[in-house]
Copies of this chain bind each other. A is one copy, B any other.
């Protein structure tokens, strides 16, 4: 068997085309969805992420601003800046790029972003609302994974799913979304003693660890769907957790790295910003 390639780039292109149409419709009603991103300091990778988000938003017709604050910005200044954006009716989505300089408490910052503008879904109140089953913003990588899985030709109902990695950014929330989709989820992590056995009996594997070579051909049940959320830079190259070439021989569908989950994450930032704009009109 050669696995179907779950082409995140193409899935993202199609999804964004749908978003662009909805943005156009909102603009016709006088509302231009706006994504505002706060960047503190001059980290090169962060600058490139932030610019990418702005460009992606503009490409589908949204407006987008970057607020660039100095590396030495105090926590109070940042909190005041967020407060202003919370109060600005023209801003629908607010992102604060992490990591933040060490003088700033990340938890305080995330809790300051108005829940209805928290398009990353990182404010604990939105995480809690996800678990409580009330209206929220779902974190973008887990949401992107669910979108990719729609393209895998597998009904998740009652399926055995192994999620590797227990972070609150990916592993935990994607486990929740998969459980909501009626899958039976086993959450694996660095202290799991029987990872290989669990993987081998799973219909779907989602790996979000950052450990290249972790998932091998021997671990994967023939016909399983494999989603690789790892993105570790090895010799200057973005590398996933899964041995792509060999696992492709046994899986029924697989995401490449790069070009798998990555493009969907930003897509879901845009998705949530559109949602925020729509909800603001109610």
- Chain B CB within 8 A of A77 CB: no
A-B contact pairs, 30 of them (CB 8 A): A107-B132, A110-B132, A111-B125, A122-B132, A123-B128, A124-B124, A124-B126, A124-B131, A124-B132, A126-B128, A131-B131, A131-B172, A131-B173, A133-B168, A158-B192, A158-B194, A159-B193, A160-B194, A166-B179, A175-B187, A179-B187, A179-B189, A182-B189, A182-B191, A184-B186, A184-B189, A184-B192, A184-B193, A184-B198, A186-B187
For the complex, what is the distance from the CA of A253 to the CA of B179, rounded to whole Å? 28
Q: B residues within 8 A CB of A268?
A: none
A119 to chain B, nearest CB (A): 16
Contacts of A185 in B (CB 8 A): 186-187
Q: How far is the CA of A122 from the CA of B132 in the complex (A)?
A: 9
Q: Is A150 an interface residue (CB 8 A)?
A: no
A112 at the interface (CB under 8 A from B): no
Cross-chain contact of A127 among B128, B160, B194 (Cβ < 8 A):
B128
User: In residues 167-191 of chain A, which contact B (Cβ within 8 Å)?
Assistant: 168, 172-173, 175-176, 179, 182, 184-189, 191
Number of copies: 2
CA of A187 to CA of B128, assembled, Å: 18
How distant is the Cα of A111 from the Cα of B125 in the complex, in angstroms?
Answer: 9
Q: Which of A124, A129, A157, A184 has the most C-beta atoms of chain B within 10 angstroms of its own C-beta? A: A124
What's the least CB distance linking A121 to chain B, in Å?
10
